């Protein structure tokens, strides 16, 4: 059942009685910029935001600041799906910022010099809905159980005179286990893996925070020490890892979070998010081969077959870094899971 935030007292009584209401937050004009965005505090899947737009300029720009609730730590796939009782034609976008690229890495090859880009202030498009998806006109992103925010915008056309509703959907994501690796330098390579997909990736820590500088879009032999002749649109990352649990986000171009690109990335001007706690992909291309290999300081190398199945998907993985000799016994335990995944 849907409940407007304008009916706060009745909603509160229902919640006190144990009923979970789907809460709608209507736009509050003027909300035609990030600074004037209507605040939406999502609580439960089924919540929504709504408004009216008949243009893609001026007052037709409906901005919302969408805040995620506190949940159990984990990876969650979220969607806002636009519907209307009138003529379809609205466009939803997740907003972000530009970045000023870091200077090219001053330390040729490996190791990385530790420099990253600088977040800009220009409102930029991070992701746009498509009429070709199922359902049509949805935006998709990933959250991690802690408070996170993003700017979301809806625009219309002259024919979209009826109100729109954007409804929140959410499902948990279970990251696939890669294995156990030794501490020290670990490399991730998408070059020479039997595909030409333009890949993008980022490493997250055990608390699902993206690690500064631990991402790559395009590889470079000169900047990052990639095992290629010059440059490629496929990813390569070589970084030092202390013992711990790590998560890996993999998709095609462009993977977006709040982090600016490191200096050894050959593409350093991608859009970033305004706030932490959100990750997304901006591509509707499907059935993409994203296979890669992971190699640690002992030359242990694991091939990881994986495919991007649906629009805007990011494939998530988990791996552990454990010192010898414990890593060998844990690797033996992880092997059956890897074998099952390859079948």
What pLDDT score was predicted for residue 324? 81
DSSP 129-176: --SSSSSSSEEEEEE-SS--EEEEEEE--TT--S-EEEEEEEEEE-PE
Phi first, then psi, for residue 292 (nearest 5°) are -155, 170
Say yes or no to pLDDT of 159 above 60.
Answer: yes
Question: H/E/C letters for each residue in 249-289?
Answer: EEEECCEECCCCCECCCCCCCCCECCCCCCEEECCCCCCEE
Output the pLDDT for position 52. 99
The average pLDDT across 298-325 equals 97
Q: What is the pTM of this model?
A: 0.90
- The pLDDT value recorded for residue 334 is 55
Residue 329: strand, helix, or coil: helix
Please compute the mean of the pLDDT values over residues 188-203 and round it to a whole number: 99
Which of 312, 144, 293, 319 shows the shortest CA–CA distance to 241? 319
> What is residue 21's predicted lDDT score, i.e. its pLDDT?
87
**Over 80: is that where the pLDDT of 9 sits?**
no
CA max distance for the chain: 67
Q: Which residues are 153's β-sheet partners?
A: 63, 93
| Mean pLDDT value of segment 219-228 | 97
Q: Do the strands 38-41 and 62-67 form a parallel or antiparallel pair, or are they unpaired? A: parallel
The mean pLDDT of 142-160, rounded to a whole number, is 98
> Residue 63's closest CA among 179, 166, 207?
166
pLDDT value, residue 13: 47
Question: Is a pLDDT exceeding 80 seen at residue 161?
Answer: yes
**Average pLDDT over every residue of 154-167:** 99
Question: What does the mean pLDDT of the chain come to?
Answer: 93
* Torsion on CA atoms 259, 316, 290, 150, rounded to nearest 10: -40
Q: How far apart are CA 67 and CA 72, in angstroms?
A: 16
Instruction: Give the span between the Cα atoms of 117 and 102, in whole angstroms.
Output: 4
Per-residue exposure over 249-278, b if at least 16 CB sit within 10 Å of its own CB, e if not? bbbbbbbbbbbbbbbbbbbbebbbbbbbbb
* Span between the terminal Cα atoms of the chain, in Å: 43
Structure tokens at 183: 């501490």
Whether the per-residue pLDDT at 254 is higher than 80: the answer is yes
Confirm if 34 and 123 have CB atoms less than 8 A apart.
Answer: yes
CA distance 257 to 250: 12
pLDDT at 4: 55
What does the pLDDT read at residue 145? 98
Task: For residue 4, count CB atoms less than 10 angstroms from its CB and return exposed for 0-12, middle for 13-18, buried for 19 or more.
Answer: middle
Dist CA 45 CA 68 (whole Å): 11
| Region at 206 (left for phi over 0; alpha for psi -120 to 50; beta for the rest) | alpha
Between the CA of residue 106 and those of 116, 184, 342, what are the distances in Å? 12, 21, 39
pLDDT digits (tens, 9 = 90+) for 61-110: 999 999 999 999 999 999 999 999 999 999 999 999 999 999 999 998 99
Percent of the chain with pLDDT over 90: 87
Selected residue with higher pLDDT from 94 and 12: 94
Does residue 330 have a pLDDT over 80?
Answer: no
Query: H or E stretch including 210?
Result: strand 210-216
Candidates 306, 343, 300, 342; CA nearest to 322 is 300
- Looking at the chain, the whole-number percentage of residues with pLDDT higher than 70 is 89
């Amino acid at each position: 059942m849907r409940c407007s935030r304008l009916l706060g007292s009745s909603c509160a009584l229902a919640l006190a009685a144990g009923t979970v209401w789907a809460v709608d937050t209507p736009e509050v004009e003027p909300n035609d910029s990030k600074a004037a965005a209507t605040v939406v505090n999502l609580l439960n899947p089924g919540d929504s935001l709504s408004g009216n737009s008949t243009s893609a300029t001026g007052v037709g720009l409906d901005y919302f600041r969408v805040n995620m609730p506190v949940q159990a730590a984990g990876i969650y796939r979220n969607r806002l799906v636009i519907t209307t009782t009138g003529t379809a034609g609205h466009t939803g976008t997740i907003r972000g910022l530009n970045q000023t690229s870091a200077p090219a890495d001053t330390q040729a090859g490996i190791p990385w010099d530790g420099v990253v880009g600088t977040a800009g202030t220009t409102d930029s498009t991070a992701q746009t809905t498509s009429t070709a998806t199922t359902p049509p006109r949805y935006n998709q992103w990933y959250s991690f159980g802690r408070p996170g925010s993003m700017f979301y915008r809806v625009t219309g056309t002259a024919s979209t005179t009826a109100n729109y509703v954007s409804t929140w959907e959410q499902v948990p994501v279970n990251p696939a286990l890669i294995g156990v690796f030794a501490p020290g330098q670990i490399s991730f390579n998408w070059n020479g893996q039997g595909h030409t997909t333009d890949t993008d990736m980022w490493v997250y820590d055990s608390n699902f925070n993206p690690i500064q500088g631990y991402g790559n879009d395009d590889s470079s032999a000169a900047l990052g020490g990639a095992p290629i002749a010059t440059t490629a649109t496929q990813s390569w990352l070589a970084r030092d890892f202390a013992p711990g649990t790590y998560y890996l986000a993999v998709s095609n171009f462009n993977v977006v979070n709040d982090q600016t690109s490191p200096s050894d990335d050959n593409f350093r001007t991608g859009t970033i998010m305004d706030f932490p706690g959100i990750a997304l992909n901006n591509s509707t291309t499907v059935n993409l081969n994203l296979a890669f290999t992971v190699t640690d300081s002992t030359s242990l190398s694991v091939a990881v077959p994986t495919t991007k199945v649906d629009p805007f998907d990011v494939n998530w993985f988990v791996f552990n870094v454990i010192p010898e000799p414990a890593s060998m016994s844990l690797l033996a335990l992880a092997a059956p899971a890897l074998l099952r995944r390859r079948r």
